[in-house]
Chains A and B, each alone.
Chain A
Amino acid sequence: MHIDAFQTLADPTRRRIVEALLHGEQQVGELVAVAGVHQSGVSRHLRILLEAGFVTSRADAQRRYYALRPEPFRELDAWLAPYRRLWESRLDRFGAALEQRRRARRPPTRSKRT
């Protein structure tokens, strides 16, 4: 499941399409401009994104609009959560190491007597 999501996003053209759709729904023609490939290529990538559940489409008269679906992103986010925690705890250690060095360098100043 997660593997599929990463696999889907492993392609740079599909990532460009996804990033373009972050701004809202678009038609194929608009996506061609940002994707850097021909319309047939964009249609193929959109089909893959549709099948993977990243994108949904709706027809309005003769036009077809594509938009992102939040589900796979939530899934990716959940998958990344342990990784983020790993780095959060690493940066906790960074902070602790920083604090320790500061203390070692500047012994606490004794309260002044006047």
Chain B
Amino acid sequence: MSTSTPSTPSRIVIERTYRATLDEVWELWTTKDGFESWWGPEGFRVEVHAIEARLGGALHYDMIAATPEMIAAMAAMGRPASHPARATFTELRRHERLAITSVIDFLPGVTPYESTIAVDLAASGDTVRMTVTLDPMHDEELTKRSVMGFTSQLAKLDRRFGAAST
């Protein structure tokens, strides 16, 4: 297990190297088929309605509970099995870098805020190194978990962030 301390405490950087071409990796982020083939947490699948791989282009999809356990879990929490997600490509340099910004606007009482995932690609021989930079403090996934009761405190925290200014 790696225990390195990130230079900015709130940021997580994950690096992976895949045996693939830049084109193949790029497709998984920027095409309907590609994106649907992997996105979403365990137990969920996504259905993409719009994926416009250009600067400012839309990324709209439904996140759908896919396993019987997850469908039951969502029902038990009084949450719908499917919910829409809206994001935008806020950076896009083909085969080099992209950023996806989601608007977190589904929390009652919480000022809508943005969450961004940045992806950098670099080819080397027959492999591609992919670096994903995440900001968990403003992450959609984590916020969703908080809504689902995993970390109920987080919503309060977000509210404080919304009001925080010095």
Q: A87, B37: Cβ atoms under 8 Å? A: no
Most A CB within 10 A of own CB, among B16, B27, B166: B166
Contacts A90-B41, A93-B38, A102-B24 given; 10 further ones with Cβ under 8 A? A15-B8, A18-B9, A70-B5, A80-B136, A84-B12, A90-B38, A94-B130, A97-B38, A98-B28, A101-B24
Q: A83, B5: Cβ atoms under 8 Å? A: no
Report the nearest A residue to B161, measured CB to CB.
A10
Does B25 count as interface, using CB distance less than 8 angstroms?
yes
23 contacts between A and B (CB under 8 A): A2-B153, A9-B10, A13-B166, A15-B9, A19-B7, A45-B166, A73-B9, A80-B12, A80-B136, A83-B12, A83-B136, A86-B41, A86-B141, A87-B14, A88-B14, A89-B42, A91-B16, A95-B16, A97-B28, A97-B34, A97-B37, A100-B37, A102-B20
Q: In the complex, which of the residues B25, B38, B130 contacts A96, with contact meaning CB atoms closer than 8 Å?
A: B38
Q: A77, B5: Cβ atoms under 8 Å? A: yes
Residues of A within 8 A of B42 (CB): 89
Q: A6, B157: Cβ atoms under 8 Å? A: yes
Q: How far is the CA of A112 from the CA of B141 in the complex (A)?
A: 49
Does A7 count as interface, using CB distance less than 8 angstroms?
yes
Residues of B within 8 A of A60 (CB): none
The prevalent SS among residues of A at the interface is helix
Report the nearest B residue to A96, measured CB to CB.
B38
How many whole Å from B127's CB to the nearest CB in chain A? 11
How many whole Å from B39's CB to the nearest CB in chain A? 8
Does B139 count as interface, using CB distance less than 8 angstroms?
yes
Residues of A within 8 A of B49 (CB): none
Does A34 count as interface, using CB distance less than 8 angstroms?
no
Does B73 count as interface, using CB distance less than 8 angstroms?
no
Does A33 count as interface, using CB distance less than 8 angstroms?
no
